[in-house]
Copies of this chain bind each other. A is one copy, B any other.
Amino acid sequence: MILDEYGDNAEFHLTELPQPSVKAGHVVVRVAATSVNTVDTMIRQMGKDLPLSPDLPAVLGMDFAGTIEAVGKGVTDFVPGDEVYGCAGGLANLQGTLAEYMLADARLIAHKPKSLSMREAAALPLVGITAFEGLQRAGARAGQKVLVHGGAGGVGHVAVQLAKHLGADVYATVSGEKQMEIIEKYGATPINYKAEKVTGYVAKHTDGAGFDVIFDSVGGANMTNSFEAAALNGQVVSTVSMLELDLTPLHFKGLSLHVVFMLIPMLHDHKREEHGAILAKLAKLAKIADAGALKPLLDETPFGLEEVGKAHDRLTSGQAIGKLVAEI
């Protein structure tokens, strides 16, 4: 599926492209499933207003699960036939996942967790790496009070599970009955942000002291709520910080703000091996999913490759609960 133009109503078209050839340090993957992330919808809508959008025509899509078809020189961790997953294309000069075959840097991928289906595995890389990196940079650990903003969203629901696995006392802002239930199933405490103010839930859940770690998967202007909910010397993680903001609360609380932009390794060929290593760790956690460690939540609507435009629209509509995955 290729995109010929950018814009809110830009449509994907089915086309025939030559199968990519393998190159050193890379693998060719036969894609089985791919998930849609918010950044995919932003690239489609904003195009070259984002400094990471590919030249057109382009094959978008970042997350995938699939089977290795060919292995390039110097690749020692994989052989043809291995089931793998990763986030390895769909921006700048890297072809994406909305295709039968894609070339992927071997450092960006890992063996697919056996406990997850291709669809589930394809839902995990971008959000899983983002959640893992954010909690790691915040130094989240057992016994801390961790608040996840957007707890039922793509990044948020993984952050909730990972923070629980670390042994933290986890809270998550959501709205809606179904979303509240999801958070409770993870063993965390849901907070309906439409019904409760920040001062209210800070008083109720932390005796007014604030949360040790705040994972703000909403980001942007919501960061002001995160600063307000943070404890003295608290850690705030944000996934979106393209705005002007008053930093005075950071000063008087002595906060740390960690902005996670997980596309850096792909965009700048910077420490790509760290993404492969995180995916290998997430695969281990997924193996103990029955113990509640890590399982991606999938939206109930399944999509085929040719319906990816509809999947984009469903994600931007805010109707989806869980990740949208297309089977290829």
- A interface, CB within 8 angstroms of B: 51, 137, 232-233, 240-248, 250-262, 264, 268, 270-271
Known A-B contacts A51-B252, A270-B232; A247 and B242 likewise in contact (beta carbons under 8 Å) = yes
Q: In the docked arrangement, what's the CA distance between A252 and B270, Å?
A: 13
Q: In the docked arrangement, what's the CA distance between A238 and B253, Å?
A: 13
Q: Which residues of B contact A253 (CB under 8 A)?
A: 259, 261, 264
Say yes or no: B256 contacts A137, CB within 8 Å: yes
Say yes or no: B247 contacts A244, CB within 8 Å: yes
**Other-chain residue from B243, B256, B257, B268 in contact with A232 (beta carbon distance below 8 A):** B268
Q: Which residues of B contact A257 (CB under 8 A)?
A: 250, 256-257
Known A-B contacts A253-B261, A256-B258, A259-B255; A242 and B233 likewise in contact (beta carbons under 8 Å) = no
Q: In the docked arrangement, what's the CA distance between A191 and B274, Å?
A: 33
Q: Which residues of B contact A254 (CB under 8 A)?
A: 259-262, 264
Given contacts A232-B268, A253-B261, A254-B259, 9 further A-B contacts (CB under 8 A): A233-B264, A242-B248, A250-B259, A252-B261, A253-B264, A254-B261, A254-B264, A256-B256, A256-B257
Known A-B contacts A232-B264, A232-B268; A247 and B250 likewise in contact (beta carbons under 8 Å) = no
* Top 3 closest pairs, chain A to chain B, by CB: A254-B261, A241-B247, A241-B251
**Other-chain residue from B241, B246, B261 in contact with A243 (beta carbon distance below 8 A):** B246
Q: In the docked arrangement, what's the CA distance between A268 and B232, Å?
A: 9
Q: Which residues of B contact A250 (CB under 8 A)?
A: 241, 257, 259
Say yes or no: A245 contacts B248, CB within 8 Å: no
Q: Which residues of B contact A264 (CB under 8 A)?
A: 232-233, 253-254
Q: In the docked arrangement, what's the CA distance between A256 and B260, Å?
A: 9
Q: In the docked arrangement, what's the CA distance between A268 and B252, Å?
A: 11
Q: Which residues of B contact A241 (CB under 8 A)?
A: 247-248, 250-251
Of chain B, the residue at the smallest CB distance from A51 is B252
Listed A/B pairs (5) with beta-carbon separation below 8 Å: A232-B268, A244-B244, A250-B257, A253-B259, A255-B259
Q: Which residues of B contact A256 (CB under 8 A)?
A: 137, 256-259
Of chain B, the residue at the smallest CB distance from A237 is B256
Q: In the docked arrangement, what's the CA distance between A254 and B242, Å?
A: 11
Distance in angstroms from A21 CB to nearest chain B CB is 29
Q: Which residues of B contact A271 (CB under 8 A)?
A: 233
Distance in angstroms from A227 CB to nearest chain B CB is 10
Q: In the docked arrangement, what's the CA distance between A244 and B137, Å?
A: 24
Distance in angstroms from A168 CB to nearest chain B CB is 19
Q: In the docked arrangement, what's the CA distance between A257 and B245, Å?
A: 13
Of chain B, the residue at the smallest CB distance from A270 is B232
Distance in angstroms from A236 CB to nearest chain B CB is 9
Distance in angstroms from A46 CB to nearest chain B CB is 14
**Other-chain residue from B245, B262, B268 in contact with A245 (beta carbon distance below 8 A):** B245
